[in-house]
Amino acid sequence: MVKTDYKNIWVYVEQKGGEIESVSLELCSEGRKLADSCGERLVAVVIGAQTDTACSSVEETGVDEIIYVKGDEYANYTTDPYVIAMTKLCEKYKPSAVLIGATSNGRDLAPRLAARLRTGSTADATEIIFNPETEDIDWTKPSFGGNLMATIVCNKTRPQIGTVRPATFKRAFPGKKSDLILTREDISVPSEEIRTRVLEFIKDEGDDGSKIEEADVVICVGAGLKSMDQISPFQELADLLGGMIGVTRPLVDKGFYTVKRQVGQSGKIIGPKLYIGFGISGAIQHTAGITSSEVIVAVNNNPNAKIFGCAHYAVVGDMFEVASALVEELKARRNGKS
């Protein structure tokens, strides 16, 4: 294998239920930086039964090229047809890297594709940087429960494949390039080669569809909450700010909330515009899940709480008193304005 035969940064664009996964757009914007720093082109790959809507949202991220594959066999993600299509595309175009969102399906696809191409794959990266000395990508990922960061390189083979954690990078829409190249590739997979059939998708009960990882504001509550009777100031604050309540693991263990609201390494990784953590000490298992937030506020009565180390605003005080005071202050301000 000659590494220099392989060029361009690819983003695999994932669709689910006809909608583009947010992480794919995040990767287009981070991929842009990567492509610019190594002087290569940024190519989005869209596969699906329908591809028009996805292609038009991807265009706005400023990619140089879009390659799309359309066919009924791609209506739902299943391993076989997607791996076959991606393998054919990689063999034909020889990309230097393929970025894939670290969703359940992305993490199903990436290792299998890498094994078929006999190349390396890094899972769940939170940083991707082109190293000009080695001309390889440095993929950095948390390991050992977030206690250690490891930088992985794929320095002997191409393409370099990796999944990247959702909500790590921000989406950006600088606009469609005037010289954008749109290429259709016809790859059909006979049905006997598709070994998995999707029967149905059952949405989580009590799930109104809103996801904490997509909320603009997250009010996070820690183990200081002893019963659900105490939740009202936090819920009210969340409502006032148009946000959602997130929790640390002890509250999930107590049954106050489901794991869908758990923020941290073993729960959801979030990157809201505003995060306010109440009574959270700042164990790395939790903070690893919030560091991409634009503004981090922590409220804790212990001035040495570890979470203050990653907070933009550290409020020393009682979580309940501060939450109630914030609610009153916000209400007063809004009434004053109206």
Three-state DSSP class for residue 23: helix
Q: 164 or 241, CB closer to another protein?
A: 241
Q: 15 or 66, CB closer to another protein?
A: 15
Task: Kindly state the DSSP code that residue 294 receives in the 8-state scheme.
Answer: S
Q: 179 or 205, CB closer to another protein?
A: 205
Residue bearing tokens 């899972």: 123
CB of 66 to another protein, least distance (A): 25
Beta bridge partners of 184: 68
Three-state DSSP class for residue 336: helix
CB of 324 to another protein, least distance (A): 8
Would you say the C-alpha torsion 65, 71, 75, 80 has a positive or negative sign? negative
CB of 194 to another protein, least distance (A): 9
What are the structure tokens assigned to 230, written together?
């105490």
Three-state DSSP class for residue 172: coil
SS3 for 62-101 is CCCEEEEEECHHHCCCCHHHHHHHHHHHHHHHCCCEEEEE
* H or E stretch covering 52: helix 52-59
For helices 104-116 and 79-93, give the axis angle rounded to 10 degrees. 50
CB of 177 to another protein, least distance (A): 30
Q: 176 or 306, CB closer to another protein?
A: 306
Q: 85 or 315, CB closer to another protein?
A: 315
CB of 65 to another protein, least distance (A): 26
Residue bearing tokens 């949202």: 57
What are the structure tokens assigned to 304, written together?
């040495």
CB of 14 to another protein, least distance (A): 11
Q: 51 or 265, CB closer to another protein?
A: 265
